[in-house]
Amino acid sequence: MKMMKPYVWLQTSDDSIQQVEQEIAMFCPLICQEIIQKGMGSSKNCAICLPQQVSPAMLSLILDYCRFHQVPGRSNKERKSYDEKFVRIDTERLCELTSAADSLQLKPLVDLTSRALARIIEGKTPEEIRDIFHLPDDLTENVEVEEEHVDDRSVDDLLSFINGNDGGKLNILTILIFVFT
Amino acid sequence: MVDLISSLPHEIICYVLSFLPSQQVFATSVLSKSWNLLWRSVPSLDFDTDIEDFRHLNHQKIFNAVYSSVYSFLVGRGDKPFYRIRLRCYPSIDITESIKTQIRTAVSGSDRVEILDLKCDWDIVIPSMVFSFKTLVELKLEDITIEDMSFVDLSLLKILHLKCIISPIEIDVSQLLFFSGCPNLEVLEVFEVWHLDCETKRKFIRLSKLVRVSTDEPLLPLEIFKDVEVLKFYYVMHVRFITFYLEREKSSTSIESDPEVGFGLGSAQSLSQASKSCHLDS
């Protein structure tokens, strides 16, 4: 029988290669598949090539996450509070982390970071969301014109507006209802 | 500056948005051209007006506006299935047939739904197929009509709430609860279910994961609640009857009753005393 190798070789997006405890790395389904199905990662020459989204910094964050959750016997409360602190990072890194975790198919972490991103967006105006994520606003002009009328409208106006609507106007309708409620 | 979020895969952005209220998901369509149609692919419906702000208003026009926006949302989105459906509003006299049909179609078309939380109007009928949606983890139904619940196969279900339910035919909860209909149930709340019945003659399959029960329904046999951690009863029952079961329960079990009921079971402390005395008597 072949002995289990305690370490695995991983190559990150900047082409650097590093050695990682196999037990921890196996937490990521993508790495797990490479090892089991393709027999990769056993030496520096056949290092597992990680997806483009995984930079060395992200890999180190992800391994920290796996290392914590791999320890058996931790209470749910401990895990929850670790997770909470883990996603308290700036939005840019949070987006990168989400993308990296997704590329490694690490679902629990994708779930965690996605919820954190949702909390950032929640309750924000489109304007604020654009600022947070540096989104280019190629639609602003149309929107502002419509928003000026919002306060003058009564529920009945709104309703007739909604009922007599076609698909193309749905965006504007959203803002109206959003402001109204 | 680099656009941070748009570089994420389409599915991930939709997944992130699925945690937000639908009105805000809808509003993301004005962010930029690339986000214009994205909201349509978000697999969740979430309208919640069952909050304090709305209770004070209690205004039919507002409820109608909410139902209308639900309708516009569903129509604009097309018939892509949902993974999460939450619609909590108040009954409204003016819900049109087309709104009812849209909601019903959205529910029946989402057979991979994980969370289904509906509190809306007795005019809206939950189709029987919902009770065999295998992916359901959370099923909360309130102020709604159930078509038929005689076949139940919800192997992943953890949370079940049935409150103020109307049904044209008898609802036999024994089918739902005890004959392996939902073997992984953890939380159960049953209140004011019309036509409720419970066939107790057959042998039960114990719900081993059940930890929390609250009910106003005396028909539910206490035998199945033996191992739960928190029991809340909202009805009057003969103390000797219940203590019989208390003796066998784990010491961690706490029983609570609604103080507003007045004639309820009293505090957990007096119950455990009653339990001891009952034990001595026997």
Whether residue B75 lies inside any domain: the answer is no
**Chain centroid to CA B106:** 17
Task: Tell me, yes or no, whether B101 lies in a domain.
Answer: no
Residues A97, A170, single domain; the answer is no
How many domains are there within chain A? 2
**Which 3-state string (H, E, C) describes A30-88?**
HHHHHHHHHCCCCCHHHCEECCCCCCHHHHHHHHHHHHHHHCCCCCHHHHHHHHHHHCC
* Residue B246 within a domain: yes
Supply A124's token pair. 């924000």
Mutate which of B5, B61, B71 to test chain A, going by most A C-beta atoms within 10 A?
B5
Q: Chain B partners of A166 at a C-beta cutoff of 8 Å?
A: none
Last residue within a domain, chosen from A121, A155, A170: A121
Q: Would B247 be classed as within a structural domain?
A: yes
**At A142, is the secondary structure helix, strand, or coil?**
helix
How much is the average pLDDT of B185-207? 77
Q: Is residue A42 part of a domain?
A: yes
The whole-angstrom distance between B65's CA and the closest CA on chain A is 6
More confident residue, A140 or A110: A110
Which of B16, B33, B76 lies at the smallest CB-CB distance from A117? B16
> Nearest chain A Cα to B19, which residue?
A118
Residue B3, amino acid: D
Q: Is B98 on the interface with A (CB under 8 A)?
A: no
Question: Which residues of chain B from 153 to 192 reach within 8 Å of chain A, CB to CB?
Answer: none
Which structure tokens are listed for B47?
Answer: 């309208």
Q: How far is B69 from chain A, CA to nearest CA, in Å?
A: 7
Residue B243, domain extent:
229-282
Encoded amino acid at B78, one letter: G
Question: In Å, how far is A137's CA from the nearest CA of chain B?
Answer: 5
Structure tokens at B249: 């329960």
Give me the domain span that covers residue A147. 138-180
Of A137, A155, A174, the CB nearest to B27: A174
Q: Tens digit of pLDDT for each residue in B48-58?
A: 876 656 556 66
pLDDT confidence of residue A142: 53
CA distance B126 to B87: 13
Predicted confidence at residue A53, as pLDDT, reads 92
Q: Which amino acid is at A179?
A: V
Contact A102 B72 (CB under 8 A): no
Q: Given an 8 Å threshold on Cβ–Cβ distance, is A155 in contact with B61?
A: yes
Domain finish residue from A89, A121, A153:
A121
- Would you call A133 and B6 a contact, using CB atoms and an 8 Å cutoff? yes
Q: Please state the φ and ψ torsions of residue B37, each to the nearest 5 degrees.
A: -110, 5
Q: Does residue A109 sit in the same domain as residue A171?
A: no
In a domain, A147, yes or no: yes
Looking at per-residue pLDDT, the higher value among B109 and B281 belongs to B109
Positive or negative, the CA dihedral B22, B24, B30, B34 is negative
Give the pLDDT confidence score for residue A106 in this predicted structure: 95
Instruction: Please tell me whether residues A103 and A143 are part of one structural domain.
Output: no
Using a CB-CB cut-off of 8 Å, the residues of chain B touching A169 are none
Q: What is the CATH number of the domain that holds A28?
A: 3.30.710.10
Q: In total, how many domains does chain B have?
A: 1
Q: How far is CA A33 from CA A104, A112, A142, B125, B281, in A?
A: 10, 23, 49, 46, 64
User: Is the residue at A126 inside a domain?
Assistant: no
- CA of A56 to nearest chain B CA: how many angstroms apart? 18
Question: For residue A63, is it within any domain?
Answer: yes
**Given A91, A121, A151, which residue is the final one in a domain?**
A121
Q: Indicate if A106 and A155 belong to the same structural domain.
A: no
Measured between CA atoms, the residue of chain A closest to residue B77 is A167
A102, A118, A163: residue with CB nearest B20: A118
Q: What percentage of chain A exceeds 70 in pLDDT? A: 74
Write down the pLDDT at residue B241.
47
- Facing residue for B29 by CB, picked from A98, A162, A174: A174
- Write down the mean pLDDT value for chain B: 77
> pLDDT at position B264, please?
37
CB contact residues (below 8 A), chain A span 88-127, against chain B: 91-92, 95, 98-99, 102, 110, 114-115, 117-119, 121-123, 126
Residue B278 lies in a domain: yes
Distance CA A106, CA A27 (A): 8
Same structural domain, A116 and A75: yes
Kindly state whether residue A70 falls inside one of the protein's structural domains: yes
Residue A115 lies in a domain: yes
The complex's ipTM works out to: 0.74
Distance from CA of B203 to the nearest CA of A (A): 35
The model's pLDDT over B135-146, given as tens digits with 9 standing for 90+, comes to 999 999 999 998
A58 & A145 share domain: no
The amino acid that residue A33 corresponds to is Q
Say if B86 falls within a structural domain: no
> Considering only CB atoms, which chain A residues are within 8 Å of B35?
135
Instruction: Inform me whether the pLDDT recorded for B222 exceeds 90.
Output: no
Q: pTM score, two decimals?
A: 0.75
> Could you say which DSSP state residue B258 is in?
-
A23 with A77, same domain?
yes
Are A55 and A144 in a shared domain? Answer: no
Check whether residue A103 and residue A155 sit in a common domain. no
Instruction: Note whether residue B104 is domain-resident.
Output: no
Query: Of A122, A123, A134, which has the smallest distance from its Cβ to B2's Cβ?
Result: A134
Residue B39 C-alpha, separation from nearest chain A C-alpha, in angstroms = 10
Q: HEC states along B53-118?
A: HHHHHCCHHHHHHHHHHHHHHHHHHCCCCCCEEEEECCCCCCCCHHHHHHHHHHHHCCCCCCEEEE
Does the pLDDT at position B105 exceed 50?
Answer: yes
Count the neighbouring beta carbons within 10 Å of the beta carbon of residue B80: 12
Does residue A127 belong to any structural domain of this protein?
Answer: no
Q: Are residues A88 and A114 in the same domain?
A: yes
- B residues 30-69 closer than 8 Å to A (CB): 30-33, 35-36, 49, 61-62, 64-66, 68-69
Q: Residue B2's closest chain A neighbor by CA? A: A134
pLDDT for residue B6:
80
CB contact under 8 A, B5 and A133: yes
Judge: B31–A135 Cβ closer than 8 Å, yes or no: yes
Reported confidence tier of residue B179, pLDDT bands at 50, 70, 90 = low
Asked whether residue B237 is domain-assigned, the answer is yes
Hey, what are B51's tokens? Answer: 């909050």
